[in-house]
Amino acid sequence: MLKFYFHQTPNPMKVALFLEETGLPYELVAVDTLKGEQHTPEYRAINPNGKTPALEDDGKRVFDSTAILMYLSEKTGKLAGQPKDRSEMLSWLMFVASGLGPFSGQSVHFRHKAPEKIPYAINRYLREAERHYEVLDTHLEGREYMVGDSYTIADISTWGWIDKSTFVLGEDSLDNYPNLKRWFDSIDARPAVQKARDIPKGIDFKTDFDDVAARALYPQNFDKNS
């Protein structure tokens, strides 16, 4: 059985949605990143980058949400799209992995988590996140799905970050991107989305963003001896 290492953040939620869409059996292992559980030697043996999500499958490890989505879709043949759309699929998966996700994450960090407000950094990452939303909005004009004519891991991967648009860009910001909003509302209405959202229920994840959480998430910002 698959062992799924999970925290309720955008990248693990992508994998959660894939698993709920496909009905694959899995064992859930909660990793409380605000408590620093991602830094234990046991977890680093599964994901040396110390992030969630990660997956174990019959002695094999897979880490990084994009790698996991690709691995599971190739393993099962589900939500992989058509072979003729392979290049388009790879392109949009990498767009999310190397652009939308990182810039969205930095926008959230400098707007909500940084200990000091740095106008240049706030503007830089907010504007880049907005630019990525614009690219998606243009791409989705007249399209129902990200790639081809069916729901795929490209939709799942993109959904994971667009789901956090309020934190990334601000309240009601998705209204500025009508094609993207239409697409998101369609994906977000799928029954499996609610199942994925229900996964954290009953898990006592830490919620306070205090000094312990800051040190767990951003250890490089602190002196090792402090």
Please, what's the b/e burial string for 153-164 (b: 16 or more CB within 10 A of its CB; e: otherwise)? Answer: bbbbbbbbbbbb
Looking at every residue in the chain, the average pLDDT score rounds to: 96
**Would you state the pLDDT for residue 226?**
53
**Would you state the pLDDT for residue 221?**
86
Contact 139, 147 (CB under 8 A): no
The per-residue pLDDT for range 93-145, each reduced to its tens digit, is 999 999 999 999 999 999 999 999 999 999 999 999 999 999 999 999 999 99
Where is 114: in which H helix or E strand? none
Q: What is the mean pLDDT of residues 169-191?
A: 97
Q: What is the mean pLDDT of residues 206-214?
A: 94
Confidence of residue 222 (pLDDT cuts 50, 70, 90): confident
Confidence of residue 18 (pLDDT cuts 50, 70, 90): very high
The per-residue pLDDT for range 32-54, each reduced to its tens digit, is 999 999 999 999 999 999 999 99
**Would you state the pLDDT for residue 220?**
86
